[in-house]
């Protein structure tokens, strides 16, 4: 009887291997993002472009982005002292800059993009973003910006306006001054009720003041670059494999009952 049980165990293992193969993922495919590296807009003031970058829309629930002390846009880092003059991809990065009375109030500002691709069921999505903690420095016109500390950030993946997943780091984010760091979040849809709803990406400056760097004249900025979204279809097991696995489990249970009876 023990040999029969061992036989069914081998069948069960074989079914598990087959099921595992059935759940294997295909190769990742990039999802289209307009102006993913923020290179599309010419500078409007020295090394800056002010306004919504092409393809992106500002998110400003507190209505504080005024194009003056609080701005969204892009920065050309090549040839400047910001980030050592090097961007993660291309020459430009997105900026969410806050100054004046709005600094440290916790009123978040962001950039978002609704993609032309819909959410798919049984798919793994990986959102990758380079997040920058800009160093203090002087602009090309000589204006010095004290950007000490880090105000925190959040990246979000949505479908049909519904949040799927997010990644948040506050003022203690381990991103050094003048450094970009790769951040990723992964979400698996399964049999999603949101399938066929448009995917969306959002990037936020949390507008939090670090007590170690607070004070008059300190501005808060988060930079973003090289936004990528990869989709990997997950193959579901064949019905026959599921049936075989169920049969093996049932048979193994019956065999154990016979052994115990003996």
Could you list the pLDDT tens digit for every one of the 262 residues in the chain?
Answer: 444 444 443 333 333 333 443 445 578 999 999 999 999 999 999 999 999 999 999 999 999 999 989 999 999 998 777 898 899 999 999 999 999 899 999 999 999 999 999 999 999 999 999 999 999 999 988 999 999 999 999 999 999 999 999 999 999 999 999 999 999 999 999 998 899 999 999 999 999 999 998 788 899 999 999 999 999 999 866 555 444 445 444 544 544 444 344 4
Q: CA-to-CA distance for 134 and 236, rounded, in angstroms?
A: 44
Quote the tokens at residue 239: 């019905």
The confidence score (pLDDT) of residue 180 equals: 98
Per-residue confidence (pLDDT) for residue 238, from 0 to 100? 55
Of 218, 200, 205, which is closest to residue 109 (Cα–Cα)?
205
pLDDT value of position 12:
35
Q: What is the pLDDT at residue 237?
A: 62
CATH of 25-234, one of 2.70.98.50, 2.60.120.260, 3.40.50.720, 2.40.160.50: 2.60.120.260
d(CA 27, CA 48): 38
What is the Cα–Cα distance from 41 to 74, expressed in whole angstroms? 8
The answer to whether residues 201 and 227 touch, using CB atoms and an 8 Å cutoff, is yes
| Residue 246 confidence (pLDDT) | 52
Q: What angle do CA 28, 52, 98 make, to 5 degrees?
A: 105
Which tokens go with 99?
């100054």
Quote the pLDDT of residue 160.
97
Quick one: tokens of 75? 């920065």
For the chain, the structural domain boundaries read 1-24+236-262, 25-234
Tell me what pLDDT residue 236 has. Answer: 64
């Amino acid at each position: 009887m023990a040999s029969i049980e061992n036989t069914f165990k081998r069948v069960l293992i074989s079914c598990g291997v087959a099921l595992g193969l059935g759940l294997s993922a295909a190769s990742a495919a990039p999802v289209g993002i307009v102006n993913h590296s923020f290179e599309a807009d010419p500078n409007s003031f020295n090394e800056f472009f002010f306004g919504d970058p092409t393809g992106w829309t500002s998110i400003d629930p507190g209505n504080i982005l005024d194009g003056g002390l609080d701005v969204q846009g892009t920065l050309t880092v090549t040839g400047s002292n910001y980030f050592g003059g090097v961007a993660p991809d291309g020459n430009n990065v997105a900026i969410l800059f806050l100054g004046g009375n709005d600094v440290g109030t916790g009123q978040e500002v962001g950039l978002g993009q609704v993609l032309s691709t819909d959410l798919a069921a049984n798919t793994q999505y990986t959102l990758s973003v380079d997040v920058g903690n800009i160093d203090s420095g002087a602009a090309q016109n000589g204006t010095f910006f004290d950007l000490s500390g880090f105000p925190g950030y959040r990246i979000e993946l949505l479908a049909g306006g519904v949040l799927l997943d997010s990644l948040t780091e506050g003022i203690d984010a381990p991103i050094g001054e003048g450094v970009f760091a790769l951040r990723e979040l992964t979400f698996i849809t399964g049999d999603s009720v949101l399938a066929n709803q448009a995917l969306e990406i959002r990037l936020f400056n949390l507008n939090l003041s670090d007590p170690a760097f607070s004070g008059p004249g300190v501005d808060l900025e988060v930079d973003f670059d090289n936004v990528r979204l990869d989709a990997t279809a997950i193959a579901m097991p064949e019905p026959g494999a599921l049936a075989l696995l169920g049969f093996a489990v049932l048979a193994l249970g019956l065999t154990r009952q016979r052994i115990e009876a003996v």
